Amino acid sequence: MTHILAIDQGTTSTRSIVFDGAQKIVGSAQQEFTQHYPHPGWVEHDPADLVRTTIETMKGAIADAGLEAADIAAIGITNQRETTLVWDRKTGEPLNNAIVWQDRRTSDMCAALKSKGLEETFTARTGLLLDPYFSGTKVAWILEHVEGARAMAEAGELCFGTVDSWLIWNLTGGGIHVTDATNAARTLLFDIRANDWDDDLLAALNVPRAMLPEVKDCAADFGMLDPAILGHAIPILGVAGDQHAATVGQACFEPGMLKSTYGTGCFAVLNTGEEFVASNNRLLTTIAYRLDGKTTYALEGSIFIAGAAVQWLRDGLKMIDKAAKSGELAAASDPEQAIYLVPAFVGLGAPYWDAEARGAIFGLTRNTGPAEFARAALEAVCFQTADLVEAMHRDWAASAETILRVDGGMVASDWTMQCLADLLDAPVDRPEILETTALGAAWLAGRKAGLWPDEAGFAATWKCEHRFAPKMDDATREKKKAGWRDAIARTLSRQKN
Ligand SMILES: Nc1ncnc2c1ncn2[C@@H]1O[C@H](COP(=O)(O)OP(=O)(O)O)[C@@H](O)[C@H]1O
Ligand SMILES: O=P(O)(O)OC[C@H](O)CO
């Protein structure tokens, strides 16, 4: 019994994947669920959908593998990060829909905290910035806006959790209130050096400590699956936020190793080892992973819209019928047209952090058509990655010779990966296993179970499927980047200009 079940609860879908003892995928299942947009800038998930799709895909993946629950040695969970839930400790009933990481409803709250001069304290302790992206202001919003919530929270009757905590609570039958260090690191409430919730930050956001989960290592005992769910009790032994799990799944265990995941958004994570590198370029400092009580730190660049721009071409503009067409179209575009799309649909993330900016497209002519839109959407993802990698180089000289390991749905596009290598002027390595997020969660659980190899053994199994080497000449690259910088400058909100 060496199979591991990984649950990857993402922003738009939930996936479960069964890996065998040789780290090969032997079964999987995936389900999308409804996104709720109750007001402009708001994004919510129904908490019940998160649990339902998790349980259904767990069953689906085990069936797809031709196995029984009793064949699964352990479960690893990885999840969309920052998304915030609050529920009643007695009944397990959520007080509100989950407030998703993309939700901007707390921008005014963040601005108010900044105007009190608090950003420096938050950044020094959490490595994050005062942006609505993170959980802290979302919890505060629930406590302020849901009737009776504040009194219940103060009486210790409420639980706050990110999606991992919510899933564990439900999968273990209720009563286990835990999270892991990587998810805690995204809340704005956790001091990532002290490895503890921070009372000053809790006071600034008026969040009672009593509602916070216990924080564990990424490979730890998170509880037993309620046997009523699959007919068998299985230990949950690994948990990490999805970008952290991908860092592990890409075997980025050495300082200087960098991965970038291209799904709905794009998240680049650079391992900085035992060093907490404070960013001077508005990147985030975060916990890459915590194993055996030892924290490995990272610099992270977070872009909110990557594959989502391709979805917009498909579903919003109806210029393509499937995502894969975007690369073909871009390849056929007119290279003479300098079209720039700044996909600030939900504001801009790193390194700009402009919650009020909105998307813009520049350089349109009578000849501009779907092909140029497709190229602009794909190039935007690459320009934004280049912005992040340059900021990383400025923050931490040790990252100068970086090779980028990539994963996520969008890396299927060869055109985009070549464009990325060209604009970065660095090699881009696409691994054989693209489900690195799930693989990372499985590795954490497998390592804890003592069934999978340690870091070095696991890293030796990582295989490159294709290396994209840069081909663009310097003059072309610089010209394109100057055009991008100009487009960004023209898109930033007045607040930033
Ligand atoms: N061949 C492709 N070319 C460009 N974009 C793609 C391609 N295939 C998938 N995508 C994009 O990748 C995203 C899906 O990636 P995935 O890793 O499943 O995302 P998530 O986990 O965030 O839901 C979608 O936004 C989709 O538009
Ligand atoms: O669900 P994904 O893959 O888009 O990832 C979401 C991130 O964790 C948000 O920080």
Per-residue pLDDT of the chain (497 residues; tens, 9 = 90+): 789 999 999 998 999 999 998 889 999 999 999 999 999 889 999 999 999 999 999 999 999 999 999 999 999 999 999 999 999 999 999 999 999 998 999 999 999 999 999 999 999 999 999 999 999 999 999 999 999 999 999 999 999 999 999 999 999 998 899 999 999 999 999 999 999 999 999 999 999 999 999 999 999 999 999 999 999 999 999 999 999 999 999 999 999 999 999 998 999 999 999 989 999 888 999 999 999 999 999 999 989 899 999 999 999 999 999 999 999 999 999 989 999 999 999 888 888 888 789 999 999 999 999 999 999 999 999 999 999 999 998 888 776 677 899 999 999 999 999 999 999 999 999 999 889 999 999 999 999 999 999 999 999 999 999 999 999 999 999 999 999 999 999 999 866 55
Alpha helical stretches, state H, 127-281: 135-145, 149-154, 163-171, 181-184, 199-205, 227-230, 242-249
Same fold, 3-242 and 251-431+463-497: yes
State the distance from the centre of ligand 2 to the C-alpha of 62, rounded, in angstroms.
24
State the distance from the centre of ligand 1 to the C-alpha of 250, rounded, in angstroms.
18
Contact 360, 490 (CB under 8 A): yes
Q: Which ligand is nearest to the CA of 182?
A: 2
pLDDT at 397: 77
Residue type, 79: N
* Binding region for sn-glycerol 3-phosphate: 11, 81-82, 133, 242
State the distance from the centre of ligand 1 to the C-alpha of 324, rounded, in angstroms.
9
- The CATH number for 3-242, chosen from 2.40.440.10, 3.40.50.1220, 3.30.420.40, 1.20.210.10, is 3.30.420.40
State the distance from the centre of ligand 2 to the C-alpha of 407, rounded, in angstroms.
13
Q: Which ligand is nearest to the CA of 410?
A: 1
State the distance from the centre of ligand 1 to the C-alpha of 323, rounded, in angstroms.
7
83 lines ligand 2 (CB under 6 A): no
pLDDT at 495: 60
Q: CA–CA separation, 44 vs 38, rounded Å?
A: 8
* Binding region for ADP: 11, 15, 264, 307, 409
Q: Closest ligand 2 atom to the C-alpha of 265?
A: 4
Measuring from atom 6 of ligand 2, which residue has the nearest CA? 80
Determine whether 59 is exposed, middle or buried from the number of CB atoms within 10 Å of its CB (0-12, 13-18, 19+): middle
Q: CA–CA separation, 486 vs 165, rounded Å?
A: 42
Q: At a CB cut-off of 8 Å and minimum separation 6, what does 57 contact?
A: 7, 14, 15, 16, 29, 30, 31
3-state helix/strand/coil string of 418-459: HHHHHHHCCCEEEECCCCHHHHHHHHHHHHHCCCCCCHHHHH
CATH 3.30.420.40, domain 251-431+463-497, yes or no: yes
State the distance from the centre of ligand 2 to the C-alpha of 79, rounded, in angstroms.
7
Alpha-carbon torsion, ordered 404, 409, 411, 416, to 10 deg: -120
Residue type, 245: A
Q: Closest ligand 2 atom to the C-alpha of 81?
A: 8
Ordered by start, the domain boundaries in the chain are 3-242, 251-431+463-497
Q: Closest ligand 2 atom to the C-alpha of 241?
A: 8
Specify the pTM.
Answer: 0.93
DSSP string, 388-416: HHHHHHHH-GGGTT--EEEESGGGG-HHH
pLDDT at 494: 64
What is the CB < 6 Å shell around ligand 1? 10-13, 263-264, 307-308, 310-311, 323-324, 326-327, 408-410, 412-413
pLDDT at 349: 86
101 lines ligand 2 (CB under 6 A): yes
Contact 297, 279 (CB under 8 A): no
